Amino acid sequence: MNWRDQGGMTLVELLMAMTVTSIVLLGISSALVVGFHAADLWGQKISEAQTVNQLPGWLDQDLHRYVPCRGSGSGELDLCLPAGASNPSVRYTTSSGGGGCPCTIVRRDVSTGAQ
């Protein structure tokens, strides 16, 4: 039996096969990372849109349950229980960069601090 009769791959062929395989796998993983990033971005946009759609409902419920409190300045709305009109229960705060919208509206429960 001669060593030339044995079948197999040389070291150079093995290195080339590994290089080509790693390039293909790198391309596939890059496409997956871009896809996952885009899906995450769209998920955040959908979540923000749902919050924006829920805000008028929360404000409507709060205005049925609470009454406006003392004036707290522009950009804030304090709502109190009708019996205790001095301690705010819910505070709506708006923040905008240049004084107009688009702006951010935050609803905060004063007793728990939940937003």
Predicted local distance difference test score (pLDDT) of residue 4: 67
Check residue 71 and give its pLDDT: 61
d(CA 61, CA 64): 5
Q: Residue 34 has what pLDDT?
A: 93
pLDDT for the residue numbered 68 = 80
* pLDDT computed for residue 62 by the predictor: 83
Residues of the chain with pLDDT under 50: none
Looking at residue 76, its amino acid is E
Global pTM? 0.47
> CA-to-CA distance for 107 and 99, rounded, in angstroms?
19
CA angle 12, 13, 14 (to 5 degrees): 90
Question: What is the per-residue pLDDT for 25?
Answer: 97
